[in-house]
Amino acid sequence: MSIRIALAGNPNCGKTTMFNDLTGSSQYVGNWPGVTVEKKEGRLKGKKDVVITDLPGIYSLSPYTLEEVVSRNYLMNEHPDAIINLVDGTNLERNLYLTTQILELGIPVVLALNMIDLVKKNGDQIDIKRLGETLGCKVVETSALKGTGSREAAAEAISLASSRKAAVPQHEFSKTVEEALAAIGAHLDGVIDDSHARWYAVKLFERDEKVLEAVKLPEGSKQSIEAIVAAVEKELDDDSESIITNERYEYIAKVMKACVRKKKKALTTSDKIDRIVTNRWLALPIFVGPADLRGGHVCGLLCLCQQSGHHCHRFYQ
């Protein structure tokens, strides 16, 4: 029996490079059924019983683009045995938005932290162990360009798939939203498998029409869910989709603060001038001092501005 692994990630995160590294020439390229979006599948080198599917690059699991529809349908309808979620380590904050959604699917997940060589070259640090604990999944450092870490990520995915150990997302929404999701989840008992219930509850809270159609709930349940969502929107004074989006980004900001250390960049001459002239105390003598003293300072700063190519329009007002 084959093990099926999906590669998922944002566009330009190195996903296709990793796919080529893992499968070599053992690939099938076609189109997804009914659409012109390219479908690529291949067998893992050295393990012909492992099939890898390279999903289209997407930013979320909301059905706004054809690529997102294709990827979401595959993940929810085909139920791969594991997902390797490739993220660009140099743009981690943006990439983690999709990760938070993937972790809710109830499928084993390996986070492949790609471009780690560039992260280190930039002098930045990512605490891999803490990142995995914070997200609730295994994290593997990779460099698809150099071909390092790909096999380790695949091995972890195979291990998780064999044990059927799904990711356990650590992210929780606000108390108000969590209570609403629990109430919505009660309507899914016996309708949706428990392992996928969280993702469906979130999507129903967002009023995702395609999910509502797919679940086929009784009319009474639909009305109850709508009342739950409307009550939260009224309390938080925002629409349900924006509430979820904003709370995801708040969580991601906390993850970044806990797990990532950015190297402090050296200030340019322009930055240094800005710090002086916009400081409420340091700038004061320049603008309120004696005329002759003020002129000297301004001329000096104007010279610095001109030498650095900085446009100090504030001096001409």
The pLDDT assigned to 287 comes to 52
Q: Could you tell me whether strands 3-9 and 82-88 are parallel, antiparallel, or unpaired per DSSP bridges?
A: parallel
Bridge partner list, 138: 110
The enclosing H or E element of 148 equals none
Helices (H), the chain: 15-23, 66-73, 92-102, 116-121, 128-135, 150-163, 175-186, 194-205, 209-215, 219-236, 240-259, 269-277, 284-288, 291-308
This prediction's pTM = 0.81
Delimiting residues of CATH 3.40.50.300 domain(s) in the chain: 3-163
Beta strands of the chain (E only): which ranges?
A: 3-9, 27-31, 38-44, 47-54, 82-88, 109-114, 125-126, 138-141, 260-261
Q: Could you tell me whether strands 27-31 and 38-44 are parallel, antiparallel, or unpaired per DSSP bridges?
A: antiparallel
Beta strands of 178-264 (E only): which ranges?
A: 260-261
Report yes or no: 43 and 53 within 8 Å, Cβ to Cβ.
no
| Token digits of residue 10 | 């944002």
pLDDT digits (tens), the chain, 317 positions: 799 999 999 999 999 999 999 998 778 888 888 788 888 999 999 998 999 999 999 999 988 899 999 999 999 889 999 999 999 999 999 999 999 999 999 999 999 999 999 999 999 999 999 999 999 999 999 998 888 999 999 999 999 999 988 888 889 999 999 999 999 999 999 899 888 899 999 999 999 999 999 998 999 999 999 999 999 999 999 999 999 999 999 999 999 999 999 877 655 566 566 667 666 665 555 555 554 444 444 444 444 444 444 444 443 34
The CATH classification number of 175-261 equals 1.10.287.1770
Which of 79, 82, 78, 114 lies closest to 96, judged by CA?
114
Cα–Cα separations (whole angstroms), residue 207 to 193, 199, 224, 241, 249: 20, 13, 13, 8, 19
The pLDDT assigned to 34 comes to 79
**N- to C-terminal Cα separation, the chain:** 75
Report yes or no: 82 and 52 within 8 Å, Cβ to Cβ.
no
Cα–Cα separations (whole angstroms), residue 211 to 12, 20, 197, 200, 221: 28, 33, 12, 7, 14
The pLDDT assigned to 315 comes to 39
Delimiting residues of CATH 1.10.287.1770 domain(s) in the chain: 175-261
Name the CATH topology of 3-163: Rossmann fold (3.40.50)
Looking at this protein, which amino acid is placed at residue 45? K
The pLDDT assigned to 253 comes to 96
